[in-house]
Amino acid sequence: MTGPDPETLAPMAPAYDGTIFLRPLAGDRGNVTVGRYSYYDDRDGTRDFFDRNVLHHYDFIGDHLTIGPFCAFAHGTRIVMNGGTHAMDGFSTFPFNIFGHGWEVGFDPASWEAGRKGDTVIGADVWIGDHATIMPGVTIGAGAIVAAGSIVTQDVAPYAVVAGNPAREVRRRFDAATVDRLLRVAWWDWDVARITRNLDAIRGADIAALEAAT
């Protein structure tokens, strides 16, 4: 037993085809990196997560989206990239240039790019709740949980639980020493056979047992 094939788009089909692995869906998109087994609950069956749920309007503007392995994205999750924002340094935020017909004349793309907040990074084993929104340039640490409906505007620490608009830390899932040990173990980087042999330790809460797993 070696678990599901991470390159299968709908690993639970035919019983249920609404769960999709994001790495095969991403394909060869140069601005997206997705770890193995991360999935989205695509109950609408649209299969267009990277166009519908990753909001960049016209293009990524030099930024990159990284999704770690073993992440779970609930239905309606949205990730806003820098291209999905408006220039804010002038008196108006209205995007006149996109409508053309003369309104594009004199537009300086640098005014848009000046507000770029950098890459968006979602660490390993992160759970994003139903209809949560991740704003540009945010880093979410491994093992974090984002509550349903939250809007994440700033970085989230590893193994933190955040909720609200804007999302605020509610608690840490484990004490600091345990979090440090979990990050050192980094079970999500193990080969699939080792993961399969040690599922009980991974699902459990005995850090010593996880550290001893071979």
pLDDT in tens, the chain (214 residues): 688 999 999 999 999 999 999 999 999 888 999 999 999 999 888 899 998 999 875 555 678 999 999 999 999 999 998 877 787 778 888 888 888 899 988 888 777 666 678 899 999 999 999 999 999 999 999 999 999 999 999 999 999 999 999 999 999 999 999 999 999 999 999 999 999 999 999 999 999 999 999 9
The answer to whether 2 and 37 are in contact (CB under 8 A) is: no
Cα 25 to Cα 37, 40, 52, 54, distances in angstroms? 11, 10, 13, 13
Q: Are 169 and 191 members of one domain?
A: no
pTM exceeds 0.85? yes
Residue 89 structural domain: 19-173
Q: Are 155 and 194 members of one domain?
A: no
Q: Are 197 and 145 members of one domain?
A: no
Q: For residue 2, is it within any domain?
A: no
CA angle 188, 16, 187 (to 5 degrees): 5
pLDDT at position 203 is: 96
Q: For residue 5, is it within any domain?
A: no
pLDDT tens-digit series, residues 135-170: 999 999 999 999 999 999 999 999 999 999 999 999
Q: Are 119 and 185 members of one domain?
A: no
Encoded tokens for 3: 């678990």
Q: Are 186 and 116 members of one domain?
A: no
Q: Is 86 in the active site?
A: yes
For residue 115, give the CATH number of its domain: 2.160.10.10
Q: For residue 47, is it within any domain?
A: yes
The answer to whether 52 and 84 are in contact (CB under 8 A) is: no
pLDDT at position 97 is: 81
Q: Tell me the C-alpha distance between 24 and 9, whole Å.
A: 6
Q: Are 131 and 151 members of one domain?
A: yes
Q: Tell me the C-alpha distance between 83 and 79, whole Å.
A: 11
Catalytic residue among 57, 64, 86, 101: 86
> Considering its fold, how many domains does the chain have in total?
2
Q: Looking at 141, 156, 173, which one is the last position of a domain?
A: 173
Q: Are 151 and 193 members of one domain?
A: no
pLDDT at position 206 is: 96
pLDDT at position 175 is: 97
